[in-house]
Structure 1
């Protein structure tokens, strides 16, 4: 059996298997610990560990090649390699999780305008308390994401990250961090735009309700505008939220495709080599013009 596996190119040396499988497992575990749609904080640690081990078992035969060798790797270099895998896993997991935080922020904005932001529910996947609409939009985004197969796209991109970012190689530090930080800034701006875009119809409608109630209070001071407005804002917010549920679903589909492309772009940016800046040429002194000698 051992000879057969050796002919297939699978190295069975214990240090080699331990290092390579450990690097694969660390990146998978870091990714699983962050993404909310797959597991999140609500899942027991044993389940997360088991799933990361299963991913490692599936990826190990694909990633191990006869050219792969751990000879010459010292302890410090091995520690840096494991740190690199943790960083890559957390980065990819956080990148695909950003749209879900955008939907959660939109629900928080809606409840702030409705005046029910103090009513909070625990989201086990994130381990924090949010408002009712934020909890609804977050889980609605997770359900739609799973129904359209977004998790399969992400897992495929995650598996391809091992081919673009090999286990035993270091990405260029300068070129790998600055473009990634710039992409993170762009993605964060898109999330903010998404949350405002989804919450804008409800916010505008509640603003119009406040204006109408203010005018009504001007002409009929005996009306209890504060109590009436609290109820009207709540009903209007819930009504518009459910009327725009189709728009929210379309946005989830749209941002799922964008998130997949951004994750792939981020993986490529880690591998990108720094651009060579041509050396500055020394400035040549300007030649003094020759004096014009008048002809005799």
Structure 2
């Protein structure tokens, strides 16, 4: 009796594993450098094992040549990275909103190196980013990401991705929506700080002997943090709508590549 495993499925399984790995590398949760690569690879392997029965359609075979198979691997890696980047853009919008608030509140002068993104980020930018990650886990958004990854194999089967102008337009629209989303989150606090600047300017004109520059720093910080605290209870509904939009954008991207 032959008890050896069927190794003919290995090339197709590696294609599934490639898309899962690329998606996790660029996804918002597993893009954190602090997570060991072994953990990322192990989780990608488990996802590939679970998703393989959905992804392996009848008659699918790997390329006959090494170069052809290499192109298939690159194609699946590109699809996974594109999906992960679209999901990460949502969290970058919240980080951008925090940076806009920091610029007005005065925290932008204390920029520090963020080990998560490997770039310079401000205090409230990091706060809103980690808040969105915590909300993603609390709202089972990570399950939605896994569902989107599994759904992508049905909408966009292995070795069927095609780049078109519609995909480029879609990515530009997602980027524009990211900036719009950041403005919508930051506008309430920025409006309060703008009115504060106007009030301080009027005070500076009416009472020139007052040091408005030194007085404005702690006053704007206090008002900015109070405004953000008032806005936080509404962040749950905002983030729920944002995560729902993220899943829809993920499927729209996959449909555009099919």
Structure 1 spans left out of the alignment, 5+ residues: 6-11, 272-296
Question: In angstroms, what is the RMSD of aligned CA positions?
Answer: 1.9
1:147-205 CA distance string (max 9 Å, x none): 111111121111121222222x333x3xx431111111111111111111111122121
SS in 2 for 1:213: helix
Cross-structure match for 1:264: 251
Match of 1:192 in 2: 179
Partner of residue 151, structure 1:
142
Instruction: Give the direction of change, closer, same or farther, for the CA distance of 1:81–1:251 in structure 2 (3 Å limit).
Output: same
Give runs of aligned pairs for residues 4-153 of structure 1, distance below 5 A. 12-14=5-7, 16-64=8-56, 67-70=59-62, 73-153=64-144
- 1:260-284 CA deviation, whole Å, 9 max, x = no partner? 111111111111xxxxxxxxxxxxx
**1:170 and 2:154 aligned:** no
Distance 2:97 2:176 in 1: 14
DSSP-derived class of the 2:203 partner: helix
SS of alignment partner, residue 151 of structure 1: helix
SS at match of 2:121: strand
Contact 1:81 1:170 in 2 (8 A): no
1:253 aligns with 2:243: no
The 5 A counterparts of 1:214-293 are 214-271=201-258
Q: 1:123: Cα distance to partner?
A: 3.7
Answer with 154-163 or 56-65: which moved more.
56-65
Residues 164 and 268 in structure 1, CA contact (< 8 A), matched pair in contact too? yes
| Preserved contact between residue 114 and residue 120 of structure 2 (Cα < 8 Å) | yes
Which range moved further: 105-114 or 56-65? 56-65
Q: Distance in 1 between matches of 2:201 and 2:89?
A: 38
What SS does structure 2 have at the residue aligned with 1:29? helix
Separation in 2 of the partners of 1:62 and 1:186? Answer: 30
Task: List, as ranges, runs of 4+ consecutive aligned residues in structure 1 with deviation greater than 4 Å.
Answer: none
CA contact (8 A) 1:42 1:126 kept: no
Indicate the SS of the match to 1:170.
coil
Determine if contact 1:31/1:92 at 8 Å carries over to the other structure. yes
Structure 1 position 68, deviation (Å): 3.0
For residues 112-146 of structure 1, the C-alpha deviation after alignment (integer angstroms, 9 at most, x for no partner) is 01112122344443222310100110011111111
Structure-2 separation of matches of 1:60 and 1:148? 27
Give yes or no for contact 1:42–1:127 (8 Å, CA) kept in 2.
Answer: no
Aligned residues: 258
What TM-score, normalized by structure 1, do the two folds share? 0.81
| TM-score, normalised with respect to structure 2 | 0.93
Q: For 2:129, what is the secondary structure of its paired residue?
A: helix
